[in-house]
Chain A
């Protein structure tokens, strides 16, 4: 069996995929298991069996909430939350045929906002998500009360050090181009 993908995930996550002995404790405590087609322990089992395409194409990795309950409770110290991060990165980099485009879209806008403004611009995050996901009226009923309560800031200033932040993004891209970056 080809273990290249398992090794890549282990390198990215800094944890062992092979050490999992399938006790299922991660899935027992996972708050998101009912939204996943493969519960967390099966995600690891599929990796162990070399069937990673099934994992990358599915929605389980995008429905992980990163709550870290699994990593906290694993009796064999497998950091499953880090494995989920690594799998999402593999899927993200490959622009793979994931079933969960809304979560990816939200992540993309969130990261764009950091690059453009430095700090998160919640109002823009929600507005751009609605436009790009085609759900123009999503949460529209919450808008007026949030505005009235002063919880939605219409205007948002860029950080003074935004050029330094841009350089961080640029250097990460440079590392990636050279290969060998995380």
Chain B
């Protein structure tokens, strides 16, 4: 008898951003899970979930792309771990719609030329860390408690939605992000804009929208006394981090808030080397804060 290699095993759907603009999310996720001895096996040949643009104008395309991904994922053992909040929401929505609407399922099955694969549990990384792995075990794995960090946990729109599939947490007052990062020794702040929209994919077509909505979010986090923001979505990260300087210029306010992926902070806490956290990819430099708190 050989010991099982990992304590938990998952199939993994990183999503497009994690191979480009959010590569530090992918890198820190892989490092964190390896340290916790959780297996992640990437789904071969996965494709774009369609994100907002596909369902915006063509629901059948959106459902078919997600169904194709679920079909590809069914070839890999374990529940499907998803990193991006938007991919997570689209995959869950697709499962819900295809299980409840036979006409939509019939059309999607024609489009993907095969039966809609049922039974794959789709889980966001947060759910895996907080529930499957467990907060206690996570706390026990912490080597460097994140004391001194006052974290504004930013959920954005899609982590807890759609409302008919509220499996991650309470749809209006979730606490899962706070619990996870408090287990790693950080302090969290209570603030108003946790679930407000950052402007999402208007960053391409109408960046003015992002400048306004994300300014409100940054101001709310700062005014609540946070010294950093934690996210679990590449688009939220892009808007709050990449555009932060531009937002400061447009609003005349100063924020200076590093925006971390939750896996970067957790990986730091469980002892992953600094050079493997993807800190250099962040636009708002987090190193002064981390050094100030004795975390680097």
Contacts and interface: CB of A to CB of B under 8 A. Distances in A.
Contact of A165 (B47, B107, B158, B243): B47
A32 interface: yes
A66 B47 contact: no
Interface string A57-79: 00000010111110111000000
A164 B67 CA distance: 13
Contacts of B20: 120, 122-123, 151-153
A23 interface: no
B205 interface: yes
Nearest to A104: B57
- Best-buried of A85, A86, A138, A169 by chain B (most CB within 10 Å): A85
Main secondary structure of the interface of B (DSSP, over half): helix
A138 B202 CA distance: 13
Contacts of B213: 31
B68 interface: yes
25 contacts: A12-B59, A14-B97, A65-B199, A66-B200, A68-B158, A71-B163, A72-B171, A73-B172, A92-B57, A102-B205, A103-B205, A106-B205, A107-B57, A110-B51, A111-B53, A114-B50, A120-B51, A123-B20, A146-B21, A151-B23, A153-B19, A159-B47, A168-B64, A172-B61, A172-B64
B59 A72 contact: no
- Best-buried of A81, A102, A120, A138 by chain B (most CB within 10 Å): A120
Contacts of B68: 164-165, 168
A126 interface: yes
The 5 A-B residue pairs with the shortest CB-CB distance, nearest first, are A67-B157, A120-B16, A110-B53, A106-B205, A107-B53
Nearest to A118: B47
Interface of A: 12, 14, 31-32, 34-35, 63, 65-69, 71-73, 81, 85-86, 88-89, 92, 102-107, 110-111, 113-114, 118-120, 122-123, 125-126, 129, 138-139, 142, 145-146, 149-153, 159-161, 164-165, 167-169, 171-172, 175, 181-182
Contacts of A118: 45, 47-48
Contact of A119 (B22, B47, B54): B47
A6 to B, nearest CB: 18
Contact of B197 (A69, A107, A142): A69
B276 to A, nearest CB: 14
Nearest to B62: A85
B55 interface: yes
A171 B16 CA distance: 24
A154 to B, nearest CB: 10
A114 to B, nearest CB: 5
- Best-buried of B47, B64, B104, B281 by chain A (most CB within 10 Å): B47
Given A114-B54, A120-B17, A122-B20, A175 B110 contact: yes
B2 interface: no
Contacts of B65: 114, 168
A142 B157 contact: no
A88 B57 CA distance: 5
B78 interface: no
B224 to A, nearest CB: 19
Contacts of A63: 206, 209
